[in-house]
Amino acid sequence: MILVTGSAGFIGANFVLDWLAEHDEPVVSLDKLTYAGNLENLTSLNGDPRHLFVRGDIGDAGLVGELLAQHRPRAVINFAAESHVDRSIRGPEDFIQTNIVGTFHLLEAVRAYWSGLADGEKTGLRFLHVSTDEVYGSLAKGDPAFSETHRYEPNSPYSASKAASDHLVRAYHHTYGLPVLTTNCSNNYGPYHFPEKLIPLMIVNALAGKPLPVYGDGQQIRDWLYVKDHCAAIRCVLEKGRLGEVYNIGGWNEKANLEIVHTICALLDELAPNPLRPQSSVLITYVQDRPGHDRRYAIDARKIERELGWKPAETFESGIRKTVQWYLDNREWVRNVQSGAYRQWVEKNYAGRA
Ligand code: NAD
Ligand code: DAU
């Protein structure tokens, strides 16, 4: 069995759902259920004997130790994190606590468990740490994409905290021999994406006839990957990755934010036409930029393709169409995540930007 942390969030939930669709190997899910954690993402597993959900903090080494001792997983996959750059700018402390201190306690608990395993089991254990391309900083137009040897230059409290966690994971391998793997992935999109991030925010705002807030000139570039491709890449690294290695994961899909927003508008106009507003793009509104906004990310994903044979299955065109359709088909999910706390965040983040 495997232990998955952060499993009620966007990528963690997709990972658990896809895992159990493909394997019968059970999953223990550990999630603190912060504002970003949503048990509704895992509703389809209710009553499934292969899945056990535990509410808890990766920083609670006692709880993690008990879970490890009781369930004896062959792998720990760490998705748990504070993940939103804008929130890290407004309030970095939770990012330091979970992404750095939490990862440290998780590593300690896994190290203690691993040290007590018999030799055969010891070599089989895996700690897979899910990280981000943002640790590499920002690229200028024409710069080569981030490879695994690109130096770390994190620019936001979020990316700095993820960079610190990557360094801890690396150190636990180098110093103690803990069998770790690290993945650094580009921007994901797809089902269950919390609508504080660009793509789902634009979809839900456009459907509600609300402004589509584009930061600065909208020419910042991200490399977009459909979430199910990311999950497949993680499964591949887990099975075939070389211990202590880092694998960059990306979609070969560099797009400017404004282009993304126009694509979403065109898809909504086609799939959910509104006679009162034939063009959703009239809602596009330029707002004050994000402080320290990284201009461009691009991932060089050749290592994982060359060594492990993974490459993305979805094109951006097919993935974004599926994503928009998912939001149209899951309006109740959207209504339920837009709680009072969500509305307060939207008010706080966008009020001063107009
Ligand atoms: P998310 O914010 O949607 O989900 C994070 C989950 O972690 C939530 O369910 C939350 O409740 C849980 N969590 C937070 N603090 C916790 C703690 N202390 N203990 C246990 N659980 C806790 O994030 P996501 O977009 O699904 O990202 C998952 C991971 O992938 C993160 O580590 C992120 O850095 C990384 N990542 C994300 C992207 C992306 O585009 N979203 C890209 C590359 C890497
Ligand atoms: O690159 C991987 C990272 O991608 C992950 O590590 C992060 O967890 C994930 O949140 C994401 O970070 P970004 O900051 O790139 O994602 P976000 O969706 O917040 O923003 C994408 C781009 O869109 C970015 O350039 C900022 C811009 N943006 C965002 C919002 C929320 C806007 O123009 N308007 C908005 O309202």
CATH number at residue 100: 3.40.50.720
Ligand that comes closest to the CA of residue 185: 1
Asked if residue 55 belongs to a domain, the reply is yes
pLDDT at residue 108, rounded to an integer: 98
User: Is any ligand 2 atom within 6 A of the Cβ of residue 187?
Assistant: yes
Asked if residue 32 belongs to a domain, the reply is yes
Which 3 state secondary structure label does DSSP give 277? Answer: coil
Q: Could you read off the pLDDT of 90-144 as tens digits, one per residue? A: 999 999 999 999 999 999 999 999 999 999 899 999 999 999 999 999 999 999 9
CA dist 324 and 321 (Å) reads 5
Nearest-5° angle of CA 342, CA 190, CA 338? 15
Checking phi first, is residue 35 left (phi over 0); if not, alpha (psi -120 to 50) or beta?
Answer: alpha
Asked if residue 301 belongs to a domain, the reply is yes
pLDDT at residue 340, rounded to an integer: 84
Asked if residue 279 belongs to a domain, the reply is no
User: Is any ligand 2 atom within 6 A of the Cβ of residue 198?
Assistant: yes
Q: 158 an active-site residue?
A: yes
User: Is any ligand 2 atom within 6 A of the Cβ of residue 15?
Assistant: no
pLDDT at residue 353, rounded to an integer: 87
pLDDT at residue 352, rounded to an integer: 83
Token pair for residue 186? 């580009």
Token pair for residue 41? 């993402």
User: Is any ligand 2 atom within 6 A of the Cβ of residue 84?
Assistant: yes
Asked if residue 204 belongs to a domain, the reply is no
Atom of ligand 1 at shortest range from CA of 98: 18
* DSSP letter, residue 3: E
Residue nearest (by alpha carbon) to ligand 1 atom 29: 79
Q: How many domains does the chain have?
A: 1
pLDDT at residue 46, rounded to an integer: 96
In angstroms, the first-to-last Cα distance of the chain is 49
Q: What residue ranges of the chain have pLDDT lower than 50?
A: none
pLDDT at residue 248, rounded to an integer: 99
User: Is any ligand 2 atom within 6 A of the Cβ of residue 248?
Assistant: no
pLDDT at residue 111, rounded to an integer: 98
Pocket probe mutation, ligand 1, options 3, 5, 11, max atoms within 8 Å of Cβ: 11
Among candidate residues 133, 223, 229, 314, the one labeled active-site is 133
Q: 22 an active-site residue?
A: no
Atom of ligand 1 at shortest range from CA of 249: 43
Q: 133 an active-site residue?
A: yes
Residue nearest (by alpha carbon) to ligand 1 atom 37: 132
pLDDT at residue 6, rounded to an integer: 98
Asked if residue 237 belongs to a domain, the reply is yes
User: Is any ligand 2 atom within 6 A of the Cβ of residue 134?
Assistant: yes
Among candidate residues 31, 134, 166, 223, the one labeled active-site is 134
pLDDT at residue 120, rounded to an integer: 87
Asked if residue 103 belongs to a domain, the reply is yes
pLDDT at residue 15, rounded to an integer: 99
Asked if residue 258 belongs to a domain, the reply is no
Query: Range of 173's domain?
Result: 2-192+225-252+292-314
CA dist 291 and 9 (Å) reads 25
Residue type, 301: A
